Structure 1
């Protein structure tokens, strides 16, 4: 909301908004802060645009009544968008079939697994039919883009400067830090191998093909991984897939079997053994104890 508040300083009446919850009661954010709201979703009158904002475990809060209210608003002419994992709510309501959305990179694998009929992009934000953003700071980028579209780039730039935002980022900028920054690796072939691994966890690359796509031999890639990351390519790849599996276990309702498939493990039993070896507990034990999530 902050970009729209600032926009009203420069152009009074440029934006109006209301905060709504399902039942009209205050909402507890994931950081524990209680957010006061202006009313209940079912009582919302006509609106130009409505954003669904959510964080961890979005589907725990979905109900058929919520889905019906969202469909009613869309039939009434409202543009429905989403921030962070709000796309799960819109998809569960049947509003995203055949569309393209973006959401936080960490939630994309679970979203693709549950809603294969929806295209999940890794862009920072999208502003077309269905405005969506990856959440966090990308919410500011989406707000600035919407202000520029509706009121002109000059106003959006003025708001950006007030936010000390430095620049208005384009949708295509990366959600995540570059591989070189995250892993402190600067060899181009090694960085390319890591990127390819991260992009394809469900169906892991065969070693020879992975090396070829990086312009290296399998033996060269083995040496690079051991020299810079103290692990073989297979060990590093498996660790990436297990880390993703742990996130899915803690933050989604996918079954252990579904998660093992989504993370490229050939059998649930092999997945469980590898998981216990890395984390010291079974997938089911982690699923039952989400207190650290």
Structure 2
């Protein structure tokens, strides 16, 4: 197991050589200006972005990895990488899992053959990656190897479960072709990431459809198939979860929090909150 330093990339740098080792590696990075070739590796690589955005090209397709998301890059892929310079440096983490083919039994073949971007906030695996990045980022040099090792140990079984869940989502789609199901998953992940990032207002279906590159009808149908509820209901739950955190902090009034998360008034907010959590917003103050 290895863990690298915080790496500053300069323009024109061809890349960094990693000593992966038998059990994997975790590399932290702050990419300030980079156009590099992505070297094909006999391993699965996870590329997590905490701030900014990274852009990868593989097999003629472009994969944008915005903040709070991660790219699953199956073994053997090669291409190019850069950042969205309009957003400043890209802060993130690369996780190398060199146990070739270890996830094949858990996933639809499409998931282990082509890159896919996932929102970090919508899965346990994404949450573990994001929280570990935050901890490593602020940890001392002595503490970082243990945190890295814990993450790799978790991914030993967590990655298989995660890909199994993604496969189950793909199985909900009625298309026969694997490539079509994978494309549905990609676009739904774009939509889901957008909903998780916007918690201060309602996102209507037309806006979400434009963002994800789907028709409103297709988005509503596939989103409900995959996640068991329409986008509006899913997004309301996200906004209520965010509001609950602020209610427990106790620094703002119910009306202020309701307005901050796109609810018409405190009465509307209170009804929705009680439906979701089985208690009034004021009860959160006591916890």
TM-score above 0.5 = no
The answer to which structure, 1 or 2, has the higher relative contact order (CA under 8 A, 6+ apart) is 2
- Greater radius of gyration (CA): 1
Greater strand share, 1 or 2? Answer: 2
TM-score range, shorter chain: 0.3 to 0.5
